[in-house]
Structure 1
C-alpha cells in the first residue's frame, strides 16, 4: 500500500511540475519563435520560463500557508529544481532531436507535435525521479508539509520533509495555543 501511495505522490508531483514547465516552456517557445530567435536563446528563454512558472506554482500554496517570500522560494527550490531540470533536459532534448522542430512556425505541426510529445516523454522519465526524491524526504515531500495551511515551520522550513508531522491543531508539547499569536 505504501508503494502505491508513494507512486501516487510522485505522479501528482510530476503533474504539478509538468504544469508549470509546460506553461513556461510553451510561452518561451512561442515568444522565441515569434521573435525569430536562434536555437540557444530560444531554449534558454523556454527553460528559464519553465523554472519561473514551475517555482511559482509551488510557491503559491506555500505562501498561502503563511511562509514569507524568501522561505517560500527556498521551499520551491528544494521541491522542484531536480524535477524541472530533468523535465527540461528530456523535453528540450526531444525537441532538438526532431529535425526542423526548432525552426518550424507556430502554425506548424512540426513545432507542436515534438513540443507536446516531449512533455509526455519527460513525464514518464520524471515520475521515477520524483518518486525516489519523495521516498528520501526530498523533492515535493518538502511541500507537503505546507498543504492546506498545516505546516511544521521548524522542520520543513529548513528544506527537510515533515514526514506527516504537520501541526493539525494539536497542542505543542503541552503549550496549547490560547489565541495569542506572535
Structure 2
C-alpha cells in the first residue's frame, strides 16, 4: 500500500534511508567518513523536519509488517542544470530485500501523480552515475537525461546524472 508519510514514520524513514544508502554506496567496508555522513543525514529529527515542511511530500510503501520504502518530493529545489523546474524527487529508497517487488515502481507512479498536481511542467532527480541499476530503472519509467552534476560530501565529489520527467506524460 502507498500512503502519505506521517510524523510517527520518521524513525522508520531514517532506518530505511540509512540501510539503502549504505547498501547502495558503501560496498567495500564502512569507514568513519561515510559512517559519519550517514549518521548525520539519516536521523529521525531530519525526517521529522522534512515531514513538517509544506514544500515537501513523503510517500511510503507499507506492507503488513511495516514500511519497506519511501519517496521524498521537494518543491522549491532548483535543478543543478538548466531546462528543469524546481520540483525534485529527492529520494526514492526501497529496502534491498524488497527491490524487484514493484514497490519502487508503485512509489514512483504515486510520486509522479503528486508532482503533476503541483502545476510544474516537469520533475528532476539526480542519481549516482555509478548506480546503473537505478539509472536504467528511471530511464525505463520515462525519465530522460538532462545533464550532469556532482554529489558533494565534504571535499569529495561523485558524478551524478540529472534526469528529467515531463509531467505531461502522467495519466490523469
Q: State TM-score, norm by structure 2.
A: 0.29
Q: State TM-score, norm by structure 1.
A: 0.28
- Greater RCO (CA < 8 Å, at least 6 residues apart): 1
